[in-house]
Amino acid sequence: MTGRRAALLMVPLLFLGACSGSDEEDHGDAAEKDPKSSVDFDDCDFDVPAGVDMQCGTLEVPADREDPDGGEIELAFGIVRSDAPDLAADPVVYLSGGPGQSTLELVPQGFAQLYEPLTANRDLVLLDQRGTGLSEPSLACDEYTEWALGSLGSGLSDEELEAGAFDALDECHERLADDGVDFADYNSAASAADLEDLRVALDYDEWNLYGISYGTRLAQQAMRDHPDGIRSVVLDSAYPADADLYEEMPGNAERAMDALFATCADDPACATAYPDLSRTFQDLVAKLNAAPAPITVVDASSGERVDDELDGDALVGFLFDSLYSTELVPHLPEVITAASAGEFGSIGLLLGTQTQSLDFQAIGQQLAVQCHEEVSFGSREDVAAAAADHPLVEGYFESGPSSGSGIFDVCDSWDAGEAGSEANEKVSSDIPTLVLAGDLDPITPPRWGEQVAEDLSEAFYVQFPFTGHGALPSHECAVGIAEDFLDEPGQEPATGCVDDIAAPAFTPEGIQVGMTPFESDELELAGLRPEGWVEAIPGMWQESFLSSLIQQVVPGVTADEVLTTVAEQLGTEEPLVPVGELTTEAATWQLYRIVELGQSVDMALADGPDGLMLVQLTTSPSRADVHREQIFLPAVEAIEPLS
C-alpha cells in the first residue's frame, strides 16, 4: 500500500431488527405535536439494539435556504427515548463529524460507545445531516468508495492511482448533478437552519447540542445563526470556524505523533520495551519508502485477504488514523516496533478496519461543505508549503485528493460555491459550553479547543491525557463531566476524575482487567465480561480492534464448522486441534489456540442445551498470556446457559 493508496482509503474525517419504539406509545411533547410541520414518523430502516427505545422520522426542509419556496429535501432523524425516572425536558441532539458521516447508520454497531452515554437523563435526537446517511438525496460517492477499495493490491502506479481517484470523483459529481443536486445547498449554514427547523417541528422549547469533530463546527454555526432554543453545547474535539484545516493538518498530525512518542519515553516500562520509539518510526518510514514491504490487508467485514505493499507514507497514514482511537494507543508502540522487525500482521488487520469508515461517509457532502467554507479561504501554495515544513508526513498528506493541495483541484470542479467571510470568523457566544479535548488527537489538537473557548464567555475547557479523537467515547470520566454540565450548564463541572485517568498499559506487565457479571436473555447466557470493554454487538466485547471477547450460543452449527471458519478467516492451512480441556459446572470445553496474522486467538467450544457454546478471545500475541489468565479462563469457568 503506497501513501497515495492509503490517503485514498483513509479519508481524514472530522468526526469517528426493526425500530424498538412504537408509534402508538406516548412519547411526550416531541411526538407529532404540530400538524403544520412536515414531520412523519415511521419504523426505523436499520437494526436498533435490543432494549433501546427509538422512534424514527423524516422532516422536509427547503433545499435552497435562499429560496424557501423552491424544492425540498428530506432529513432522516431518530429519537432515542431515555429510561431515566426523572427525565429532563430538554433533549440532546447529536451532531456527527466528517463532514459527511452518517449518524443513523452507525446505530447498530456504534450505539453503546457513541450514543448511549448521552441518554442518562435525556432523550437523544440523532440527525443525518443534509446529504448524509438516510437523508435524501444522499451525496454518497459509491463510485469513489468502490474504486478506492478495489485499488488494494492492484499494483497501480501513483500516477494511475491519482488519475483513478479524480475520475471516480468526477463520475460521482456528474451523477449527482444529473440527479438535480445543487452542491452549493450543502453547507454548515444550511444544516444549522435544518437543526432549527427540526427543533421547532418536534416542539422542543430548547435543547442541548453535542458536536464531535466537524459536528463542533456545525454547533458553532448554530450558536451564531440560531442561538434561541439552544440551552447548552458540548464541543468534543473542537474544529474552530477560523482554523485553516488543510494548512494546519500536517503539523497537527506530527504534533500528535510526537506526543505519543513522548508518552512512551516518559513511561519506564514503555521506554524499556520500545526505546527511542520516535527514531524507530522515522527510520522505518524511510526504509519502507526506499523498499516497500509485502503486507496482507484483511477486510474487517468479509475476512477477505488482499496482498499489497506498504511504503513509508502509508505507514504515516496508518499511525495518523490509529491515533484517532484512544483504545489503540496502548498497542501502537508494540505495533511500530514489530513492523520495524518485519512483522506487519497487526497493521494489516487495522488497515482492514480503518477502510470501513468509507461505508458511512458521504464523500460528496464532505466535499460540498469543505469546498464551500474551508478551501475557499485557503491557498494551494500555503497548503503545499505547510506540508513541506513537515517532511515526515508530507508524502502522505500530499498524496490524496482530500488531504493536501490536491483538494483545490477537486474543488475547482465541485460547484459548491463560496461562503461569506463570516464562515471563516471566530464564533462568540454566551451560551454555556463545555469544550473537551484529547492530548493525542491527530486532527483537532487541544489548542483548537482552547482557541474556540476563548471567544465563548460561558465556556469550560477540559483536556484529557492519553486520549485521541473524541473524549466522550473514550472515557467514563468525560461522560460524567458532560452529564454534570448538562444538568447545570451555568456551573463549572467537577473534573477531578481527569487526574485519575491511568497511563496506557504499553506492556503486558501493566495490564489489569477486571471481570464483572452479566446476564442476557438475548444471548441466553450468564457469565463474566471484561470491565470497561464496549459491547460492540450482543455477546462481543471490545477493548480495541485488536482485542475482543465473544461469548455466544450458536445453534445448528457443529464445532468442526466453527473451526473451519476460524481457520479460513485467519488464513491458516493447518487444522485446528485442541490444546487442552476444561470441565466446569456448565460443560466440558475443548480449548484451542492459534497465532496468525498478528493475532492470538484462544477459543473454547462445548455443547449446550440450545446449541454450541463459544468463548473466543482475540488479542495481540504479546498480551495473549495475560489476557488468557485474566479474561478468557474466568469467562469459560463462569459461563452458564440460561435455559
Tell me the three-class secondary structure of 123-165, residue by residue.
CEEEEECCCCCCCECCCCCHHHHHHHHHCCCCCCCHHHHHHHH
- Are the C-beta atoms of 208 and 484 separated by less than 8 Å? no
Q: What percentage of the chain has pLDDT greater than the value 90?
A: 76
- Are the C-beta atoms of 122 and 147 separated by less than 8 Å? no
Counting Cα atoms < 13 Å in the Cβ hemisphere of 136 gives 8
What confidence category does residue 298 fall into, taking pLDDT thresholds of 50, 70 and 90? confident
Based on C-alpha coordinates, what's the Rg of the chain? 24
> When comparing pLDDT for 522 and 526, which is higher?
526
Low-confidence winner among 33-42, 241-250, 473-482, 503-512 (lowest mean pLDDT): 33-42
Strand order in the sheet with 92-95: 39-42, 54-62, 72-80, 124-128, 92-95, 207-212, 230-236, 433-438, 459-464
* Residue 130 phi, psi dihedral angles, 5° rounding: -50, 130
pLDDT of residue 312: 97
pLDDT of residue 3: 55
What cell was used for 400? 490524496
DSSP single-letter state for residue 76 = E
User: Which helix (H) or strand (E) covers residue 611, if one does?
Assistant: strand 611-619
3-state helix, strand, coil in the chain (%, to 5): 40, 20, 35
Distance, CA of 140 to CA of 310 (rounded, Å): 28
Distance, CA of 470 to CA of 96 (rounded, Å): 11
Question: Measuring CA to CA, how many Å separate 553 from each of 556, 558, 583, 640?
Answer: 10, 11, 18, 10
Express each pLDDT in 187-240 by its tens digit: 999 999 999 999 999 999 999 999 999 999 999 999 999 999 999 999 999 999
Question: Measuring CA to CA, how many Å separate 65 from each of 13, 62, 133, 338, 520?
Answer: 26, 6, 21, 53, 48
Domains (ranges, CATH) in the chain?
1-495 (3.40.50.1820), 508-641 (3.40.1000.10)
- Are the C-beta atoms of 197 and 229 separated by less than 8 Å? no
What cell was used for 581? 480441556
What cell was used for 276? 527511542
Express each pLDDT in 364-407 by its tens digit: 999 999 999 999 999 999 999 999 999 999 999 988 787 888 89
What confidence category does residue 106 fall into, taking pLDDT thresholds of 50, 70 and 90? very high
| Segment 172-195 mean pLDDT | 97
- Are the C-beta atoms of 618 and 547 separated by less than 8 Å? yes
CB proximity list for 236: less than 8 A, separation 6 or greater: 210, 211, 212, 213, 215, 216, 436, 470, 471, 472, 478
User: Which helix (H) or strand (E) covers residue 320, if one does?
Assistant: helix 312-322
**Cα-Cα end-to-end distance for the chain:** 49
What cell was used for 574? 493447518
470: left (phi over 0), alpha (psi -120 to 50) or beta: left
Q: Is 527 strand, coil or helix?
A: strand
Distance, CA of 448 to CA of 442 (rounded, Å): 12
Q: Is the pLDDT of residue 299 over 90?
A: no
CA dihedral in degrees (374, 375, 377, 380; nearest 10)? 150
pLDDT of residue 14: 58
Express each pLDDT in 43-92 by its tens digit: 999 999 988 999 999 999 999 999 988 899 999 999 999 999 999 999 99
pLDDT of residue 422: 92
Q: Is the pLDDT of residue 630 over 50?
A: yes
Q: Which of 42, 77, 68 is nearest to 201 (CA)?
A: 77
What cell was used for 36? 403544520
pLDDT of residue 638: 97
pLDDT of residue 301: 67
Q: Is the pLDDT of residue 325 over 80?
A: yes
Q: Is the pLDDT of residue 310 over 90?
A: yes
Q: Which of 360, 357, 353, 356 is nearest to 297 (CA)?
A: 353
Low-confidence winner among 143-157, 307-321, 405-419 (lowest mean pLDDT): 143-157
Q: What percentage of the chain has pLDDT greater than the value 70?
A: 94
The CA angle 505-1-543, to the nearest 5 degrees, is: 25
Cα 165–chain centre separation: 23
Low-confidence winner among 540-554, 566-580, 627-641 (lowest mean pLDDT): 566-580
Amino acid at 405: S
The strand pair at 611-619 and 547-554 is best described as antiparallel
Written as one string, the DSSP assignment of 530-569 is ETT-EEEETTEEEEETTEEEEEEEETT--HHHHHHHHHHH
Q: Is 643 strand, coil or helix?
A: coil
- Are the C-beta atoms of 479 and 462 separated by less than 8 Å? no
The CA angle 224-420-8, to the nearest 5 degrees, is: 95
Instruction: For CA atoms 270, 274, 275, 280, give the dihedral sign.
Output: negative
Q: Considering the entire predicted model, what is its pTM?
A: 0.90
Distance, CA of 515 to CA of 303 (rounded, Å): 29
Counting Cα atoms < 13 Å in the Cβ hemisphere of 604 gives 27
Q: Which of 608, 602, 593 is nearest to 639 (CA)?
A: 608
- Are the C-beta atoms of 57 and 40 separated by less than 8 Å? yes
Cell 494507543 locates to 329
- Provide the mean pLDDT of the chain: 91
- Are the C-beta atoms of 131 and 365 separated by less than 8 Å? yes
> When comparing pLDDT for 21 and 523, which is higher?
523
Express each pLDDT in 328-369 by its tens digit: 999 999 999 999 999 999 999 898 887 777 788 999 999 999
Adjacent-strand bridge partners of 600: 595, 619
| Segment 272-277 mean pLDDT | 97
